[in-house]
Amino acid sequence: MNSRNRTLEEHLEHLTHEALRQLPPCRAPASLEARVLNEVAARTAQPRRAVGINRGPLAARLALMAGCVLCIPLAWVLMTSLRMQLSYMLAATGAIHVLHGFRGVSSALLLLAELAVHLAQRIPGAWLFGGLLATGALYAALCALGYLVVRSAVPHSKVHSV
């Protein structure tokens, strides 16, 4: 920006300030202050509630649960693939002794994954479906219980009409 534009803008700003100072002050209604103070007091007395996942849309909650369930086999496949890639890389570089430190952890995780697959194959479908229903009912009951506890712990206040 050159000096001529700056001078023009400063002059325009000065003229605007002078014009605004010459305007008469605007007066608010006499009852405005009392109404604003009553509204502030009423809003302050209202309890603030934390928004949790149980307040979200049902479709979003179901999608979140389905995504979590789908991540389990994905993690197992990725862990197995990573273990094989790591062992190939360490064998190729001659640093196989590093793998022995991870063998206990990876073996334990693979054993748990195999146990989960074995149990999933042995449990009847009706039991799995019943377990999912029971889990959903327990989730709903715990959400309702939490809501009731929060509602009973926070005192209710009357909101004054303005």
* Residue 13: pLDDT band with limits 50, 70, 90: very high
Say how far apart CA 153 and CA 162 lie, in whole Å. Answer: 27
Say how far apart CA 132 and CA 43 lie, in whole Å. Answer: 42
Higher pLDDT, 60 or 22: 22
Please report, for the chain, the start and end positions of each structural domain, with discontinuous segments joined by +.
59-122, 124-155
**162 pLDDT exceeds 60?**
no
Say how far apart CA 77 and CA 85 lie, in whole Å. Answer: 12
Round the average pLDDT of the chain to a whole number and report it: 75
**58 pLDDT exceeds 70?**
yes
- Quote the tokens at residue 59: 């479709």
DSSP notation for 40-84:
HHHHHHSPP----GGGS-HHHHHHHHHHHHHHHHHHHHHHHHHHH
Determine the residue type at 107.
S
**In this predicted structure, what is the pLDDT of residue 14?**
92
56: Cα separation from own chain's centroid:
10
Q: What is the pLDDT of residues 20-33, one digit of tens each?
A: 889 888 887 888 88
Q: What is the DSSP letter of 30?
A: T
Say how far apart CA 79 and CA 19 lie, in whole Å. Answer: 73
**In this predicted structure, what is the pLDDT of residue 50?**
55
Over residues 113-139, mean pLDDT: 80
Q: Look up the pTM and report it.
A: 0.28
Token pair 């009357």: residue = 158
Q: What is the DSSP letter of 98?
A: G
**68 pLDDT exceeds 70?**
yes
Backbone torsions φ then ψ of 107, nearest 5 degrees: -65, -40
**144 pLDDT exceeds 50?**
yes
Q: What is the pLDDT of residues 70-104, one digit of tens each?
A: 888 888 887 777 777 666 665 665 555 544 555 66
* Residue 160: pLDDT band with limits 50, 70, 90: very low
DSSP notation for 25-47:
PP---TTHHHHHHHHHHHHHHSP
